[in-house]
Amino acid sequence: MSRGPREVLHLQSRAYPLHHRSPATAMELVAVPGHGELQPVVGGLKSLAYNPDSTIELDLTAVVIGSVSLPGTEILACHARILTAGTVLVIYALRHEQDLRELALPDLDALDSEVNRTLREADAAILAAVLSASVTSGLVQGIALRPDLALNGSQSPIDRQSARYNCHFVTEDPPWESDARVPALISGPDCRILLPYTYAWDCDPATPLMELLTMTEPTDIAVAQQSLLVGALIAGRWVLGDLAHGHPESTDVHAFRRFLDGLWADFHHLDGYRIESTQAHRASYLSARQVIGLDDTQERADKLLSYVSNSLLAASSQRSEALDTRLNRVAAALAVVSAASFGLDIAVFVLPQVSLAAKLGVVVGLIGMAVSCLMAVIVPRVKRPSDAVPRRRTWSARL
């Protein structure tokens, strides 16, 4: 495709929350079965002014181009950025045959949504293979997934439900105006917020990709935080649904705790961006998080997870109570057996001269008494129909 003087570069940045750890050592080749080898490179968030934060950069262009095709669209690059804060950004650089500058904002948004849907369906297996190879090679370690993914090994570790993405249109003098529903915010230089998760950047689209990724870092950090919180909301709903249907034993409390620890550690790591970034990038970050409602999502996640924690504590208390009851029954049963054994010893000692039939009668009687006591202690009491009648009447009276 030939470049025109008013070209538009279409960038899509997807954030996947994985809550991982990555080594800071020398990077070795990552062999992806069926897709060749990838060379990880140590990078960093260039928009930070104070404490540097490293990244691991992977060029997935050759892998993706060989497997994904979009009619009327050229995939210029596909880049993965593994952040220290347990999140992976997958960025596509696209060029379209049609002139995007002539599209109205709703049509532009519809085009972007369709492209994203197509790409997510087409690259799901590729990203899963790359992640699996990264874990096998030790490039990504200690992944803490959502509980429903962690407990079901047949599902892909790529958390597509939690993934969120930003859309960037890079062109000189962008012609689109912000949607009327977008609040008037002071964003960073050359950044215009068209819609939540949709931005126009006044920049030469021929700028090297890594410089463009630094330019869009503030908004991508905000969407990475949003993906973390969405994963928390999904996990909380999953646990509550399991508890509501009476299956608390299938909820791995320790896995959920590890997931939450990773979630809040990663979220607050990224939240430090608001005080660590440069002034220009900070303005874009604060505007982006306000438009996408990040603070509201954090409040909702905090409330839901607090409710889930209380429900898990109640379920744990109920299980402990049931266990105590069973242990008490077992202890009582052991006491009955010990008493029967002691009674049998006494009978044999007191009645040494009686006939065999009398001894057998005593033994059978003692064993029968012990079994009866054991059944009475161990078997739970079943409510009789007469016990339930007054309760039904009470409920009917209340209604």
Q: What is the pLDDT of residues 101-117, one digit of tens each?
A: 999 999 999 999 999 99
pLDDT tens-digit profile of 155-189?
556 677 889 999 999 999 999 999 988 988 878 88
**Of residues 94 and 312, more confidently modeled:** 94
Say yes or no to pLDDT of 96 above 50: yes
Residue type, 383: K
Please give the DSSP secondary-structure letter assigned to residue 384. Answer: P
Please give the DSSP secondary-structure letter assigned to residue 172. Answer: S
**Percent of the chain, pLDDT > 70?**
72
Average pLDDT over residues 121-141: 88
Copy the structure tokens of residue 222. Answer: 């905000």
Copy the structure tokens of residue 28. Answer: 């070795």
Position 260 scores a pLDDT of: 84
**Of residues 53 and 377, more confidently modeled:** 53
The confidence band for 337, taking pLDDT boundaries of 50, 70 and 90, is low
Position 333 scores a pLDDT of: 65
The confidence band for 398, taking pLDDT boundaries of 50, 70 and 90, is very low
Position 28 scores a pLDDT of: 85
Average pLDDT over residues 30-45: 91
Position 189 scores a pLDDT of: 83
Average pLDDT over residues 311-333: 62
The confidence band for 348, taking pLDDT boundaries of 50, 70 and 90, is low
Say yes or no to pLDDT of 324 above 80: no
Average pLDDT over residues 73-96: 95
The confidence band for 20, taking pLDDT boundaries of 50, 70 and 90, is confident
pLDDT tens-digit profile of 354-376?
666 666 666 676 677 667 666 66
- 């540097």: which residue's tokens? 52
Q: Give the C-alpha separation, 122 to 111, whole Å.
A: 17
The confidence band for 132, taking pLDDT boundaries of 50, 70 and 90, is confident
Contact 374, 333 (CB under 8 A): yes
- Among 294, 152, 149, 129, CA closest to 228: 294
Give buried/exposed letters for 231-248 (b at 16+ CB in 10 A, else e): bbbbbbebbbebbeeeeb
Position 24 scores a pLDDT of: 61
Say yes or no to pLDDT of 1 above 50: no
Q: Give the C-alpha separation, 239 to 312, whole Å.
A: 9
Position 21 scores a pLDDT of: 79
Q: Give the C-alpha separation, 105 to 119, whole Å.
A: 21
Instruction: Name the pairing type of β-strands 164-171 and 198-202.
Output: parallel
Instruction: Name the pairing type of β-strands 9-17 and 87-96.
Output: antiparallel
Copy the structure tokens of residue 70. Answer: 């979009």
Copy the structure tokens of residue 166. Answer: 């930003």
pLDDT tens-digit profile of 242-256?
777 766 555 667 777
Helices (H) and strands (E) counted in the chain, each on its own, are 10, 10
Average pLDDT over residues 305-310: 80
Say yes or no to pLDDT of 151 above 50: no
Q: Give the C-alpha separation, 30 to 41, whole Å.
A: 11
DSSP β-bridge partners for residue 30: 38
Whether pTM > 0.85 for this model: the answer is no
- Among 167, 215, 217, CA closest to 193: 167
Mean pLDDT of the chain: 81
Lowest mean pLDDT among 231-240, 280-289, 335-344: 335-344
